[in-house]
Amino acid sequence: MERETKILKEKILRLKEEKDVLILAHFYANSEVQDIADKVGDSFKLAKDAQNAKNKIICFCG
């Protein structure tokens, strides 16, 4: 399972770069989600981060 998680994380990070994605995660999201997120915080902070983002895609994990 650990190897599968590592492979999935690598795929997500590669796609994040290829597609110009900003990943935002709530502070209560699973640690695996927080690990790949660019920003972690509460809804207000993440909304401000999204508003200022220059990325083509925003993935909001809540």
The predicted-structure confidence for 20-61, as pLDDT tens digits, reads as follows 999 999 999 999 999 999 999 999 999 999 999 999 999 999
How many domains does the chain fold into? 1
The string of DSSP letters for 1-62 reads -HHHHHHHHHHHHHHHHHHTEEEEEETTS-HHHHHH-SEEE-HHHHHHHHHT---SEEEEE-
pTM given for the model: 0.88
pLDDT of residue 62: 81
Residue 7 confidence class, pLDDT cut points 50, 70, 90? very high
Residue identified by tokens 């508003």 is 51
CATH number at residue 21: 3.40.50.10800
Q: Answer for the pair 20, 30: CB distance below 8 angstroms, yes or no.
A: no
Range of the domain at 44: 2-61
The pLDDT of residue 2 = 87
